[in-house]
Amino acid sequence: MFWLLATLAYLLGSLSFAILLSRLTGKPDPRMSGSGNAGATNMLRLAGKKLAVLTLIGDLFKGLLPVLIAGVADLSLQEQAWIGVCAVLGHLFPLYFRFRGGKGVATAAGMLLGLYPPAALLAVCAWLLTFYLTRTSSLAALIATPLTLPLLAWQEPAALLPMSALTGLIVWRHRGNLRDLFAGRERHF
């Protein structure tokens, strides 16, 4: 059951709502325009609030749904977390779009919502506060994602290893943003 759900989670994660919505509405491919990222922040820049919100909801949902299904299938919390990681891997490296996807933040938030809602709430609050203070989405993601680890270590240690691996992946996907942040070139809203 674990391997079947992990595979299905990856395939669901590979659906890029940013790319699909761009194609359906005739907007530019987010991988080729703006920041080059297939995610909600770049969709906000390229296509406006409505498509950005739809992208965000779709990306959250594809992280949440596999974890919820794994829970209903009575898999362990750690197995649920690894299945959520597979959904995020699909978002990062989508099978249907030449393995060029987004950065995984919204899909990871959906995964956390399914695993342990207080950790998702902490991440969202940290993201919103950092974004409000800096107007920088990448910095908000880089602060919010690791902040969940101590809470998980304390409350849900079975999810700590998968979430630590996921945090490393998200930081790695933001390596260009980190360079731009340190050089003072990062885009602000």
Please, what are the averages of pLDDT over each run of 10 residues along the chain (189 residues)? 97 96 93 88 92 96 98 97 97 93 94 95 95 93 94 92 96 92 85
Q: What is the residue whose two structure tokens read 């809470």?
A: 151
Q: How many CA atoms lie within 13 A of 52 on its CB side?
A: 11
pLDDT in the model for residue 170: 95
Type of residue numbered 159: A
Looking only at Cα atoms, what is the longest distance across the chain? 47
What 3-state DSSP class applies to 122? helix
What tokens were used for 14?
């590979």
Residue 74 in contact with residue 83, Cβ under 8 Å? no
pLDDT in the model for residue 33: 87
Instruction: Say what the pTM is.
Output: 0.93
Q: How far is CA 57 from CA 9, 38, 48, 153, in A?
A: 16, 14, 15, 28
pLDDT in the model for residue 83: 98
Exposure of 3 by Cβ count < 10 A (0-12 exposed, 13-18 middle, 19+ buried)?
exposed
